[in-house]
Amino acid sequence: MLWIKPRLTPYKNKRAIMKRKLIVSLIYVVFTMNLQADPLLLEDVLKRIGRTSEFQWEPFLQTGVVYDRGHFVSFYTGKKGETGVLLVDGYHIIEAPLPYIEKSVVKFPEAFVASVEKAINEEVKNDVGLFRIAAIIIDPGHGGKDTGAIGTPTINGKKTTIQEKDVALKVSKDLYAQLVKAFPNKQVLMTRNNDSTVSLEERVSFANVVNLAQNEAIIFVSVHCNAAPYKANARGYEVWYLPPDVRRSLINKSTFDGPVEVVPILNSMKEEEFTIESRLLASSILKRFDEVIGKSSPSRGIKEEEWYVVKKANMPSVLVELGFITNASDAKLLTDSAYVKNFSNALFKGISDFIADYEQPGGFNPLH
């Protein structure tokens, strides 16, 4: 459990949220229908760029990504004939005529396709090596003075106390040991490895200072247990990631070498990349949880929320909740070492699956 759940966009009331959701889904339906109704246009782009290419369209932001041979070009739409910037592999920009929307259909100018093709070919030629995960940050929730959630299950007729910080550390330490052994060439780091108090800011800055090469990525996994003090029957495990509508500043204006007005656009593209990767990491982990936990505790699925640690970490990141400490059955299970070990094993397998996909020859394709 985390207690800080700031909303970047303060919603005034429920109706505003509903209205916004409705607009988003309507736009989504309209664009999905139109993209399907006019597949030749899209197919032409893909055929032209390469057989392995794939395409993703974000209807709400009107941005998209073309993937091919482990590289990707993010773009936004403009007016017909307008030139703008495209972001190649999430870190460098090129100029090209922008795709535009005509009669609700996305159209791609010939020169746009040529630019994407050229950019990807150049990236492939200059490949500094495959994209790789260089570092994995494990963040055991809470610690020290901050116990996190506390449960008092009765085990064999004896009232026992269980603290979230202890379960999180136990799982994280075992996960750490497995990752270090399996990936000797990666940095595996923990935000705490004992019962110390670490602030949320410290956890995040810890993760954000790891040095990376351009073809390297880092992932962040925060480990927690849930609590619902007024709903004792709530139970199960879940995996959280950041929703796509939270705006972060991933590209630093002061160090960015280009026109300042494109920074917000580049940020939304970069963020979209992290969102896709975070969601993939979340589903790899959840799949393994489902496998090992089976029917012991129910799956509550993948969720989106603006958790502090996840929001501030400039990298694909997820937060796992292993179970409800306030639920008698979950709390009892979480005091069982074998049960807890299942979680670290599953986290290890889920993270390994994600890494294998990310680092596969031919590159990571977020649409797999």
Q: Given the rule CB under 5 A, which residues bind Zn ion?
A: 1-2, 141, 148, 224
| Separation of alpha carbons 93 and 314, rounded Å | 19
Of 308, 318, 331, which Cα lies nearest the Cα of 236? 331
CA 40 centroid distance within chain: 31
Cβ 310 vs Cβ 222: under 8 Å: yes
Q: Which is nearer to Zn ion, 190 or 269 (CB)?
A: 190
Select the residue whose beta carbon is closest to Zn ion and give its number. 224
Q: 316 phi and psi, to 5 degrees?
A: -60, 125
CB 322, min distance to Zn ion, A:
10
Give the Cβ contact number of residue 10 at 10 Å: 7
Determine the residue type at 150.
I
CA distance 15 to 32: 25
Nearer to Zn ion, 119 or 347 (CB): 347
Query: Where on the phi/psi map is residue 21: left (φ > 0), alpha (ψ -120 to 50), or beta?
Result: alpha
Q: Based on CB atoms, which residue is closest to Zn ion, 31 or 324?
A: 324
Residue placing its CB nearer to Zn ion in the complex, 4 or 24? 4
Q: How many Cβ atoms from other residues are within 10 Å of residue 320's Cβ?
A: 25
CA dist list (Å): 281 to 146, 174, 313: 28, 19, 15
Nearer CB in complex with Zn ion: 101/302: 302
State in angstroms the smallest separation of the CB of 264 from Zn ion. 32
User: Rounded to the nearest whole angstrom, what is the least distance from the CB of residue 303 to Zn ion in the complex?
Assistant: 14
Whole-number minimum distance, CB 343 to Zn ion, in Å? 14
Choice between 97 and 148, CB closer to Zn ion: 148
Tell the smallest beta-carbon distance from residue 139 to Zn ion (Å): 10
Tell me whether residue 119 or residue 149 sits nearer to Zn ion (CB atom): 149
**What is the nearest approach in angstroms of Zn ion to the Cβ of residue 171?**
12
For the chain, give the number of residues: 368
Distance CA 287, CA 219 (A): 18
- Judged by DSSP in three states, 191 sits in coil
Closest distance of CB 141 from Zn ion, Å: 4
